[in-house]
Each structure stands twice: as structure tokens, then as C-alpha cells.
Structure 1
Amino acid sequence: MSTESSGRPDPRDLLPAAEALPGLARVAASAAWHTTGWSLRTSAAAWRRVGRAVTDQDEAAALAEDAGQAIAVVGELARSVSSGTPVGKALVVAGATLGGLVGEHGSSAGREPEVVDGTVVSSSATAHEPTLRELGQDLLMRSRDVWSTDQGHPAFARILTELAPDEGRILVLLLNSGPQPSVDVRTGGPMGMVSSHLVAPGLSMIGARAGLRYVEQVPSYLNNLFRLGLVWFSREPLRDPLEYQVVEAQPDVLAAVHSVKFAKVVRRSIHLTPFGEDFCRTCLVEEDAADAPFPEHGTPGEGDAVEPR
């Protein structure tokens, strides 16, 4: 078997071993080999390593070492299966080892996979944990990448994992129907002009209009949406006063009004933030409808209430 100067096997020398495998194992070995190549070709981090290797001799050596180890793992897979190791076990071990070899700063120079009875059982390769400064430099590098095809804010994926299904329906309602009316019930009358107390805050018909499963959870849902930066609460009413007529006739509003001797209803509104609008367009509507015109939302300004009540 021929070897390269680094002591790693030539990829061509692995072909006879791969051909000797049973059908399933041969397919698996081929898939592992092509998966490794795909990762190196498509990973932006891998390309940055290649770029550094042009001018950095140490990085070039580390990159070559990683490629050699990937080839060695595939060869070890072939030998393990040929010697009687169950295909499933060999694939799991090889996949775990390959996963530790690919990635930025993933150099494993000088580190050999541990082999017991002809089977790779572990790899001592550990990924380099980037510092905050390295992460910042990577961010700025990506900001200068004119060929980047990134879509949507990077926080969108995390936000999706922190939303309840009902909260998704609230966002769709706000996107399609525009800002929603809400009212506060406060004490009124002569004493209310001197000292007014809040009786019931943020009453709305969002739960019914959005078709929520748990309508009683609307206050909690709105708090979470505010926490994620997707909605805000304005002190200003909507321009159309008719929007409030149905809200003010709801049982919970009437109950709050009748709970005190003198009451007054203060009209408010609930809006998507610009960030929330972008999130909805990117994540919650079909791609061909993302650029369609939707009702306009207000933007928080000085004196506006931007916190839930």
C-alpha cells in the first residue's frame, strides 16, 4: 500500500478495501466519504481555513492532517467491517470520529483515533472553543461577504423554539389584520380626576380573533411576545373608533366597568415591532407572499408605552 509523505494512506488504496465490503457497508463507506467531502466543500468555516492555509504554513499542515485523518477513518471502517465488527457499530464510531475532524479550528494534528481490536472507539480530538473576540471577527468577516445568501435575522431560529402555537396565531393576526385595539379600565368620576386607579389592563379580543386554543393565556402570550421583541404596547388608540365598540361590549370589559362605582375606559393599541414584522414575513408566511403589502404598524416613539401592562 502506498503512502503519502505524511504517513497517511493514499485514497486510491482504500478502493480495494471498500470493494471487499458487503453491499450495505460499501454504500455506508461511500456515503461517509462523500459526506466528509461535502462538508469540506460547503462549509464556510472550512473555506476560511483554506484561505488561511494559503499564507499560514501551520494552518496548511493542520488542514492536510485533518484530510488525512478523514481518509484514515474511512479505511478503518472498511477494515472493521471486514474483520466482523457489526456494520451499525462501525458506522456510529466512524461518524462520531468524522464529526470531530470537520470544522473551523478543527485541526487534529498529531492525534490518532484510538483503536481497540481493530475498531475505532474514540477520538481525542477536541474542537477549539472560539473566544468572544474571534466570534466578533468572524461576524465582521461575514458582514463583508458580498456573496452571502443568509436570509433573516440569526435570532429567528431561536425565537421559533420559544413560541407557543397560540403565539404564532397572534403574530399572524397582527400581520394580516394590523394593530389590535385594547382597553384599560380605570376608576373615574370626580375622584378619578385626582387619583385614578387601574382596574383591568390590556383587555382585547385578540384571543377570539386569532382563534386561540387557550384564550385565558393571552396576557402571558403577549408578555412573552414582548420579551422576544416582537410586539409593543402603545398608549395611543387606533384611528378608527369603531374598532373599540366590539371590545368595549365584551363581558370581561363590562365586568371590570361594573366592579367600581365610577369607571372610565382608556383606549390603547397593540402593534408588531419592526423586528416582529420582519420575523413574521420571514418565518410565518409563504415565501411568495412575504413581499405582499400588509397593514401598517406604528413604531415606538417618545412617550409611548412599550411595556406590557
Structure 2
Amino acid sequence: MDEQYDEVPEAAPTPPVARGAALPEGLAPAVEALPGLARVAASAWWHTTEWGVRTSARAGRRMARAVADPTEAAALARDATEAATVIGGLARSVSAGVPLSRALVSAAEWLDELAEPPQPTNGRDHPAADTMASLRQRGAELLERSRDVWSTDVGHPAYERILDELAPDEARILLLLLQGGPQPSVDVRTGGPIGMVNSQLVAPGLTMIGARSGCRYLDQVPSYLNNLFRLGLVWFSREALRDPMEYQVVEAQPDVLAAVHSVKFARIVRRSIHLTPFGEDFCRTCLVDEGADAAAFPEHGLPPETDAGEPPSHT
């Protein structure tokens, strides 16, 4: 009964150690040097950390890179060596008289740091590859839906994004173009004898679209039209409308008259603004009632295959 024990009695193998893989050859002596309870705790910590490293390796694809990348393989080996160093330090701390609980806490902090997923540092991690794989997957899903004869998709998927990028005045302009048809537009250029040789643009793209559509901010109409062109909803034709009467009111507007009177000789070039086929479908899908008769809307011209459909500029 007076027998004294110099060390904690050795505990029976616990489930975590019994189920875990064998400790590394270089790590086993350090663990065996610990007292019984500390040895059990250290082994459990090692297997927990080993599981964490394996999980991080799978999540970060470190193992796959290590096969082909010597640098990554060396990094994995370094992590294992550091883990063994922590366990060895735990044994030395306990042998030097550091309380077991404090030594285990310190070891746990180091092991937690080792279990953290590695950060890309050598430029060999390729997030772009994951992005490309995701895009290919989405492309495959898109083609799969295209083969689905029972698909009930309505409207282009870009319509939702376009609605987020439209101002209220721009919706009014689109509705005018859909219901009122192509709209007249004029350029004012220099004329006379000199204009026959070298005509200069005085004022481009003057219209009554803002007033006719009820825009709130008339001075923003050129910007509105540029945005609608950017979204692929309208295009600008170099051709005039068939009915010349469409231009009489436009050419009598103050801004057109001011541009004409700003030069000694001036001439007016008649043009027009149309919805693109994409813009027509967008307007019919998003801006009018579902039961609206598409045949009742005026016809728009098709945009050319050249850059002639671009918005007017000051050049």
C-alpha cells in the first residue's frame, strides 16, 4: 500500500489510437518517451492532426499537385516534419517539469496552425482552372436544356440583367420605338461649295425622341441612346425614313435651327433610329402585356453587318 509510482500508470489503448494509422517512424520514439497519459493524448493529437491535414489536402488538391510538383511535395514533407517537432517538444516540456495541461495546450496551438489550409505562394495554384471547369459545366448544362423539348424557358436570360441597367426614361424610349416605329434623326453638317469638298459635322443625332417618349431628363437623351446601343437594343441607320413628313417637325426644333444658323452654309442629313431584333423581342417580353398583338407593332429595319449601326459622333 506504501508503494509509490514515479509515473502515471500506463493506460490501455484508447479507441482513437487503436483505430488510427501507425505513427511515423521518426515520431514514435518521442511519443514513447512521454508518460502513459501524455502518450495517449499526444497520439490522439497526432491522429487528429493527421486527419485534418488529409482533409485540407483533399480540399486544396495538395496531394494532386505534389505528385507533379516537387515544390509542393517538399511543402507536405515539411508540414509532417513540423508536426513531429511539436510532439517532440511536448515530450521535452513534460520531462522538464512543465505541467501536462499547459504543454498539451501549447502543442494543440501549434498543431492547429499546421492543420490550416495552405495559401498559394509560389504562383503554381491556378484558380482560373477551376473557373474554366465551372464554365464548361454550365455550358454542358445549357446544351442539355437546349435538347429538352419540354423546356418552358421564356425570354432571353440576359433580360433580367438588362432591366437592372435601364433608366426609367430609357424604358420610355424603348416603348416609343416599339409602338411608334423607327424615329427620325438628323445631322447638321457644313454645306455650300466648301462643304461639297470637305463637309464638317456641326451637330449629330438630333431627334425628338425625348419629347415624344415623355422623358423626364431631356438633356440625358444622347446618353440614354448610347446606353441602349451598348445593350444591343437599338441601332442607328444612315438611311432616312420613307415618309419625309416625319422630319418636318424635327427640323423645326430650336436645337436644329441653332446648329443650322451656327455656320454660314449648312445642310441637314436625314437618318433614323431603330430597334434591333433583340431589342424588339426584349420590349415585347418585358414592356408590354403578354396578350399584345405583335403584328400591330411597326416594322424596324435590320442593322447592317458593318459599323454603320453605331451611334452618331462628333467626327
Change over 3 Å in CA distance of 1:304–1:136 after alignment to 2: closer
Q: Which residue does the alignment assign to 2:111?
A: none
Q: Which residue does the alignment assign to 1:58?
A: none
Q: Which residue does the alignment assign to 1:157?
A: 160
* 3-state secondary structure, aligned to 1:213: coil
Q: Map 1:240-259 to 2 at 5 A.
A: 240-259=243-262
- Post-superposition Cα deviations, 1:226-280, rounded to whole Å, max 9, x if no partner, equal 0000000000000000000000000000000000000000000000000000000
- Residues 234 and 304 in structure 1, CA contact (< 8 A), matched pair in contact too: no
2:235 aligned residue (227, 232, 243): 232
* Cα distance, 1:302 vs structure 2: 5.0
Is 1:191 matched with 2:194? yes
Change over 3 Å in CA distance of 1:238–1:304 after alignment to 2: farther
* Cα distance, 1:300 vs structure 2: 1.3
Change over 3 Å in CA distance of 1:304–1:264 after alignment to 2: farther
* 3-state secondary structure, aligned to 1:209: helix
Q: Map 1:76-87 to 2 at 5 A.
A: none
- For 1:274 and 1:302, the matched residues in 2 are separated by 14
Change over 3 Å in CA distance of 1:159–1:302 after alignment to 2: closer
Q: Which amino acid aligns with 1:235?
A: R
Q: Which amino acid aligns with 1:285?
A: V
Q: Which residue does the alignment assign to 1:141?
A: 144
Q: Which residue does the alignment assign to 2:215?
A: 212
Identity of aligned residues (%): 79
* Cα distance, 1:293 vs structure 2: 2.2
- Residues 282 and 290 in structure 1, CA contact (< 8 A), matched pair in contact too: no
Q: Which residue does the alignment assign to 1:262?
A: 265
* 3-state secondary structure, aligned to 1:131: helix
- For 2:188 and 2:143, the matched residues in 1 are separated by 49
* Cα distance, 1:304 vs structure 2: 6.9
* Cα distance, 1:286 vs structure 2: 0.5
* Cα distance, 1:301 vs structure 2: 2.4
Q: Which residue does the alignment assign to 2:225?
A: 222
Q: Which residue does the alignment assign to 1:298?
A: 301
- Post-superposition Cα deviations, 1:137-164, rounded to whole Å, max 9, x if no partner, equal 0110010011110001000000000000
- For 2:268 and 2:305, the matched residues in 1 are separated by 23
Q: Map 1:13-32 to 2 at 5 A.
A: none
- For 2:291 and 2:157, the matched residues in 1 are separated by 21
- For 1:291 and 1:205, the matched residues in 2 are separated by 25
* Cα distance, 1:305 vs structure 2: 1.9
* Cα distance, 1:291 vs structure 2: 3.3
Superposition CA RMSD, Å:
1.5
Task: Report the TM-score when normalising by structure 1.
Answer: 0.57
- For 2:169 and 2:135, the matched residues in 1 are separated by 36
Change over 3 Å in CA distance of 1:138–1:303 after alignment to 2: closer
- Post-superposition Cα deviations, 1:115-158, rounded to whole Å, max 9, x if no partner, equal xxxxxxxxxxxxx9761111110110010011110001000000
Higher helix proportion = 2
1:200 aligned residue (194, 199, 203): 203
- Post-superposition Cα deviations, 1:51-87, rounded to whole Å, max 9, x if no partner, equal xxxxxxxxxxxxxxxxxxxxxxxxxxxxxxxxxxxxx
- For 1:210 and 1:262, the matched residues in 2 are separated by 32
- Residues 183 and 201 in structure 1, CA contact (< 8 A), matched pair in contact too: yes
* 3-state secondary structure, aligned to 1:193: helix
Task: Report the TM-score when normalising by structure 2.
Answer: 0.56
Is 1:281 matched with 2:284? yes
* Cα distance, 1:303 vs structure 2: 5.8
Q: Which amino acid aligns with 1:300?
A: P
- For 2:265 and 2:306, the matched residues in 1 are separated by 27
Q: Which amino acid aligns with 1:217?
A: Q
- Residues 235 and 304 in structure 1, CA contact (< 8 A), matched pair in contact too: no
